[in-house]
């Protein structure tokens, strides 16, 4: 695990699209694959919140893009190519961002995810995250969920989660 480099941003979309198909197969998404806008990746990179998992040749095969949001960090995206999934890579990326956020003195980490896919909400719960009910979500988290639904996510499946320190 390491911080991403500016010249690697173009590689992250391919990782995200590959990982999308695992979500699609699990029934979490029915739309066509998309990837984070380059501006979001740059924002994450500039905040030192764009982490990559790299192989022996130092080529990224997974990434996590975090964004500063109020006094917390929001995980905008975490993806691992299918060949590397179920090997602890996502857990190590999440643990790395949690350690980074905690060291910065932020209040916690938030994310949105699918409630039913085992490698989504149940996985994050195993790291200490909990689902936020409507009254606990910030306006910004609510807007993120609404945008996801506008882009084809099933509102009955999407949840916001948080790990507060």
**pLDDT tens digit string along 66-84?**
999 989 999 999 999 988 8
Residues 43, 154, 96, 5, CA torsion sign = negative
Which residue range is the domain that position 160 belongs to? 2-164
Instruction: Output the CA torsion 70→154→123→164 (10° steps).
Output: 20
Full-model pTM: 0.89
DSSP string across 72-88: EEEEEEEEE-GGGTTSS
Given this model, what pLDDT does residue 36 score?
81
Q: How many separate domains does the chain show?
A: 1
- Confidence band of 113 (pLDDT split at 50, 70, 90): very high
Residue 29, domain CATH: 3.40.630.30
Predicted confidence (pLDDT) at residue 31 exceeds the cutoff of 70: no
Region 44-59: what's the mean pLDDT?
Answer: 97
């Amino acid at each position: 695990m390491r911080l991403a480099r500016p010249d690697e941003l173009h590689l992250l979309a391919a990782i995200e699209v590959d990982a999308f198909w695992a979500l699609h197969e699990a029934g979490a998404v029915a739309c066509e694959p998309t990837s984070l806008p380059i501006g979001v990746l740059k924002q994450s990179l500039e905040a030192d919140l764009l982490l990559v998992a790299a192989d022996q040749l130092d080529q990224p095969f997974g990434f996590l893009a975090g964004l500063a949001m109020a006094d917390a960090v929001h995980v905008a995206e975490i993806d691992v190519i299918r060949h590397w999934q179920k090997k602890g890579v996502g857990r190590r990326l999440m643990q790395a961002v949690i350690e980074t956020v905690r060291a910065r003195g932020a209040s916690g980490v938030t994310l949105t995810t699918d409630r039913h896919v085992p490698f989504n909400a149940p996985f994050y719960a195993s790291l200490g995250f909990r689902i936020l009910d409507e009254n606990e979500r910030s306006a910004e988290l609510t807007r993120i969920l609404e945008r996801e639904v506008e882009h084809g996510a099933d509102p009955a499946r999407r949840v916001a989660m948080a790990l507060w320190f």
